[in-house]
Amino acid sequence: MKTLKIAIQKSGRLNEKSVEILKNCGLSFENYKSSLISSVSNFPLEILFLRDDDIPEYVQDGIADLGIVGENVITESGAQVSYLQKLSFGKCTLKIAVPNNSDITEISELEGKAIATSYPVILEKYLQENNVNAQVRTISGSVEIGPGLGLSDAICDIVSTGGTLKSNGLKPFAEVMKSEAVLIGTAGVELEPEVLELLQRIRSVLRAKE
Protein backbone atom coordinates (compact mmCIF):
# COMPACT_ATOMS: atom_id res chain seq x y z
CA MET A 1 0.00 0.00 0.00
CA LYS A 2 1.25 3.47 -0.83
CA THR A 3 1.98 5.81 2.08
CA LEU A 4 0.37 9.15 1.41
CA LYS A 5 1.75 12.45 2.60
CA ILE A 6 -0.33 15.35 3.83
CA ALA A 7 1.24 18.77 4.47
CA ILE A 8 -0.17 20.91 7.28
CA GLN A 9 0.97 24.11 8.96
CA LYS A 10 3.70 23.54 11.53
CA SER A 11 2.56 26.32 13.85
CA GLY A 12 0.21 29.24 13.45
CA ARG A 13 -3.45 29.87 13.00
CA LEU A 14 -4.26 26.74 11.01
CA ASN A 15 -2.14 24.22 12.92
CA GLU A 16 -4.48 23.35 15.77
CA LYS A 17 -7.60 22.93 13.64
CA SER A 18 -5.70 20.94 11.01
CA VAL A 19 -4.44 18.52 13.66
CA GLU A 20 -7.90 18.38 15.21
CA ILE A 21 -9.69 17.45 11.98
CA LEU A 22 -7.18 14.67 11.26
CA LYS A 23 -7.50 13.32 14.82
CA ASN A 24 -11.29 13.46 14.49
CA CYS A 25 -10.91 11.26 11.41
CA GLY A 26 -9.57 8.61 13.78
CA LEU A 27 -5.93 9.09 12.78
CA SER A 28 -3.39 8.41 15.50
CA PHE A 29 -0.13 10.40 15.34
CA GLU A 30 2.27 12.46 17.40
CA ASN A 31 1.83 16.17 17.10
CA TYR A 32 4.67 18.34 15.78
CA LYS A 33 7.46 18.82 18.26
CA SER A 34 10.79 18.94 16.56
CA SER A 35 10.48 16.48 13.70
CA LEU A 36 9.15 17.63 10.36
CA ILE A 37 7.40 14.32 9.66
CA SER A 38 5.05 12.28 11.81
CA SER A 39 3.77 8.81 10.84
CA VAL A 40 0.16 7.88 11.40
CA SER A 41 0.10 4.51 13.17
CA ASN A 42 -3.31 3.36 11.96
CA PHE A 43 -3.48 4.69 8.38
CA PRO A 44 -0.95 4.71 5.50
CA LEU A 45 -0.25 8.40 5.95
CA GLU A 46 2.63 10.66 6.91
CA ILE A 47 2.09 14.20 8.12
CA LEU A 48 4.54 16.90 7.01
CA PHE A 49 4.68 19.99 9.21
CA LEU A 50 5.58 23.01 7.10
CA ARG A 51 5.26 26.78 6.85
CA ASP A 52 1.92 27.45 5.22
CA ASP A 53 3.53 29.37 2.34
CA ASP A 54 5.37 26.22 1.23
CA ILE A 55 2.32 23.93 1.20
CA PRO A 56 0.83 24.80 -2.24
CA GLU A 57 4.14 24.12 -4.06
CA TYR A 58 4.75 20.86 -2.19
CA VAL A 59 1.31 19.64 -3.26
CA GLN A 60 1.63 20.99 -6.80
CA ASP A 61 4.93 19.14 -7.24
CA GLY A 62 3.57 15.93 -5.71
CA ILE A 63 6.06 15.94 -2.82
CA ALA A 64 2.93 15.90 -0.67
CA ASP A 65 -0.22 14.26 -2.06
CA LEU A 66 -2.49 16.42 0.05
CA GLY A 67 -2.34 19.67 1.98
CA ILE A 68 -4.38 21.86 4.29
CA VAL A 69 -3.89 25.59 3.67
CA GLY A 70 -5.78 28.89 3.33
CA GLU A 71 -7.20 29.76 -0.10
CA ASN A 72 -5.43 33.12 0.15
CA VAL A 73 -2.04 31.39 0.31
CA ILE A 74 -2.88 29.09 -2.62
CA THR A 75 -4.02 31.95 -4.83
CA GLU A 76 -1.03 34.11 -3.91
CA SER A 77 1.39 31.25 -4.67
CA GLY A 78 -0.05 30.67 -8.15
CA ALA A 79 0.37 26.92 -7.61
CA GLN A 80 -1.81 24.61 -9.69
CA VAL A 81 -3.55 22.22 -7.31
CA SER A 82 -6.99 20.66 -7.08
CA TYR A 83 -9.42 21.83 -4.43
CA LEU A 84 -10.86 18.75 -2.73
CA GLN A 85 -12.81 20.15 0.20
CA LYS A 86 -13.46 23.40 2.04
CA LEU A 87 -12.85 22.87 5.74
CA SER A 88 -14.91 25.60 7.48
CA PHE A 89 -12.07 26.97 9.59
CA GLY A 90 -9.41 29.66 9.15
CA LYS A 91 -12.06 31.97 7.75
CA CYS A 92 -10.90 35.48 6.95
CA THR A 93 -11.23 38.22 4.36
CA LEU A 94 -8.57 40.08 2.44
CA LYS A 95 -9.59 43.72 2.53
CA ILE A 96 -8.30 47.08 1.42
CA ALA A 97 -8.27 49.59 4.27
CA VAL A 98 -7.46 53.28 4.53
CA PRO A 99 -6.79 55.65 7.44
CA ASN A 100 -9.94 56.74 9.31
CA ASN A 101 -9.42 60.33 8.15
CA SER A 102 -8.86 59.40 4.50
CA ASP A 103 -11.33 60.73 1.94
CA ILE A 104 -10.93 57.65 -0.26
CA THR A 105 -14.33 55.98 -0.50
CA GLU A 106 -14.22 54.26 -3.87
CA ILE A 107 -11.85 51.84 -5.51
CA SER A 108 -11.28 54.23 -8.42
CA GLU A 109 -9.86 56.75 -5.93
CA LEU A 110 -6.91 54.42 -5.34
CA GLU A 111 -5.59 55.51 -8.74
CA GLY A 112 -1.97 56.61 -8.30
CA LYS A 113 -1.93 55.71 -4.61
CA ALA A 114 0.50 53.39 -2.82
CA ILE A 115 -0.91 50.25 -1.21
CA ALA A 116 1.11 48.13 1.20
CA THR A 117 0.40 44.38 1.26
CA SER A 118 1.82 40.91 1.79
CA TYR A 119 -0.43 39.69 -1.03
CA PRO A 120 0.89 41.44 -4.17
CA VAL A 121 -0.35 38.83 -6.65
CA ILE A 122 -3.94 38.88 -5.40
CA LEU A 123 -3.94 42.67 -5.06
CA GLU A 124 -2.49 43.32 -8.54
CA LYS A 125 -5.15 41.08 -10.08
CA TYR A 126 -7.89 42.87 -8.16
CA LEU A 127 -6.62 46.31 -9.22
CA GLN A 128 -6.38 45.17 -12.82
CA GLU A 129 -9.95 43.87 -12.75
CA ASN A 130 -11.06 47.25 -11.43
CA ASN A 131 -8.97 49.21 -13.92
CA VAL A 132 -6.97 50.96 -11.23
CA ASN A 133 -3.30 51.83 -11.52
CA ALA A 134 -1.87 51.88 -8.03
CA GLN A 135 1.58 51.29 -6.67
CA VAL A 136 1.76 47.97 -4.85
CA ARG A 137 4.37 47.95 -2.06
CA THR A 138 5.14 44.43 -0.90
CA ILE A 139 6.06 44.01 2.75
CA SER A 140 6.11 40.72 4.57
CA GLY A 141 4.27 41.67 7.75
CA SER A 142 2.74 44.41 9.92
CA VAL A 143 1.34 46.16 6.86
CA GLU A 144 -1.11 48.05 9.11
CA ILE A 145 1.63 50.44 10.16
CA GLY A 146 2.28 51.49 6.51
CA PRO A 147 -0.08 54.49 6.36
CA GLY A 148 1.02 55.80 9.77
CA LEU A 149 4.65 55.74 8.64
CA GLY A 150 3.85 57.42 5.36
CA LEU A 151 4.86 54.29 3.46
CA SER A 152 1.47 53.88 1.82
CA ASP A 153 -1.95 55.50 1.40
CA ALA A 154 -3.80 52.24 1.95
CA ILE A 155 -3.20 48.64 2.88
CA CYS A 156 -4.51 45.29 1.69
CA ASP A 157 -4.46 42.67 4.41
CA ILE A 158 -6.29 39.82 6.08
CA VAL A 159 -9.06 40.89 8.38
CA SER A 160 -11.01 38.59 10.66
CA THR A 161 -12.41 40.69 13.50
CA GLY A 162 -11.16 44.10 12.36
CA GLY A 163 -9.47 44.72 15.73
CA THR A 164 -5.99 45.18 14.27
CA LEU A 165 -7.25 47.71 11.72
CA LYS A 166 -9.10 49.65 14.39
CA SER A 167 -6.15 49.86 16.74
CA ASN A 168 -4.04 51.22 13.87
CA GLY A 169 -6.57 53.90 12.94
CA LEU A 170 -7.68 52.20 9.74
CA LYS A 171 -11.10 51.46 8.27
CA PRO A 172 -11.88 48.80 5.67
CA PHE A 173 -13.65 49.82 2.46
CA ALA A 174 -13.22 47.08 -0.13
CA GLU A 175 -13.34 43.31 0.02
CA VAL A 176 -10.73 41.65 -2.21
CA MET A 177 -11.11 37.97 -1.38
CA LYS A 178 -12.77 35.65 1.11
CA SER A 179 -10.76 32.69 2.33
CA GLU A 180 -10.95 29.58 4.46
CA ALA A 181 -8.80 26.51 4.96
CA VAL A 182 -9.15 23.92 2.19
CA LEU A 183 -7.95 20.41 1.56
CA ILE A 184 -5.96 20.37 -1.67
CA GLY A 185 -4.47 17.56 -3.73
CA THR A 186 -1.94 17.25 -6.53
CA ALA A 187 -3.68 18.18 -9.79
CA GLY A 188 -4.12 15.72 -12.62
CA VAL A 189 -3.60 12.53 -10.63
CA GLU A 190 -6.27 9.92 -10.07
CA LEU A 191 -7.35 9.88 -6.43
CA GLU A 192 -5.97 6.80 -4.67
CA PRO A 193 -8.41 4.66 -2.65
CA GLU A 194 -6.68 5.88 0.53
CA VAL A 195 -7.28 9.50 -0.48
CA LEU A 196 -10.94 8.76 -1.12
CA GLU A 197 -11.20 7.03 2.26
CA LEU A 198 -9.63 10.03 4.01
CA LEU A 199 -11.84 12.46 2.09
CA GLN A 200 -14.92 10.50 3.14
CA ARG A 201 -13.84 10.60 6.79
CA ILE A 202 -13.16 14.35 6.62
CA ARG A 203 -16.58 14.94 5.07
CA SER A 204 -18.35 12.99 7.80
CA VAL A 205 -16.43 14.91 10.48
CA LEU A 206 -17.57 18.17 8.81
CA ARG A 207 -21.17 16.93 8.55
CA ALA A 208 -21.23 15.98 12.23
CA LYS A 209 -20.18 19.56 13.06
CA GLU A 210 -22.96 21.24 11.05
* Binding partner of residue 76 among Zn ion, ligand ATP, none, CB cut-off 5 to 8 Å per kind: none
Question: Closer CB to ligand ATP, residue 106 or residue 175?
Answer: 175
Amino acid in the structure at residue 130: N
Amino acid in the structure at residue 37: I
- Using CB under 6 A, pick the residue from 4, 74, 84, 92 that binds ligand ATP: 92
Task: Report residue 73 CA to chain centroid gap.
Answer: 4
Question: Closer CB to ligand ATP, residue 70 or residue 147?
Answer: 70
Q: Is 166 an interacting residue with respect to ligand ATP (CB under 6 A)?
A: no
* Binding partner of residue 123 among ligand ATP, Zn ion, none, CB cut-off 5 to 8 Å per kind: none
* Binding partner of residue 13 among ligand ATP, Zn ion, none, CB cut-off 5 to 8 Å per kind: ligand ATP
- Using CB under 6 A, pick the residue from 67, 90, 146, 185 that binds ligand ATP: 90
Q: Pick the closest to residue 8 from 159, 182, 147, 179 (CA basis).
A: 182
DSSP structure class, residue 60:
H
Q: Is 56 an interacting residue with respect to ligand ATP (CB under 6 A)?
A: no
CA 29/CA 40 separation, integer angstroms: 5
Neighbours of 130 (CB within 10 A): 15
Range in contact with ligand ATP (rule: CB under 6 A) among 40-48, 58-66, 69-77, 122-130: 69-77
Q: Is 14 an interacting residue with respect to ligand ATP (CB under 6 A)?
A: yes
Question: Closer CB to ligand ATP, residue 72 or residue 152?
Answer: 72
CA 14/CA 5 separation, integer angstroms: 18
Q: Is 183 an interacting residue with respect to ligand ATP (CB under 6 A)?
A: no
How many residues make up the chain in this entry?
A: 210
Q: Is 179 an interacting residue with respect to ligand ATP (CB under 6 A)?
A: yes
* Contact in structure between 115 and 173 (CB atoms under 8 Å): no
Helix (H) or strand (E) holding 131: none
CB of 106 to Zn ion, least distance (A): 31
Q: Is 52 an interacting residue with respect to ligand ATP (CB under 6 A)?
A: yes
Q: Is 53 an interacting residue with respect to Zn ion (CB under 5 A)?
A: yes
Neighbours of 205 (CB within 10 A): 17
Phi-psi region of 90 (alpha: psi -120 to 50; beta: other; left: phi over 0): left
Binding site for Zn ion (CB under 5 A): 52-53
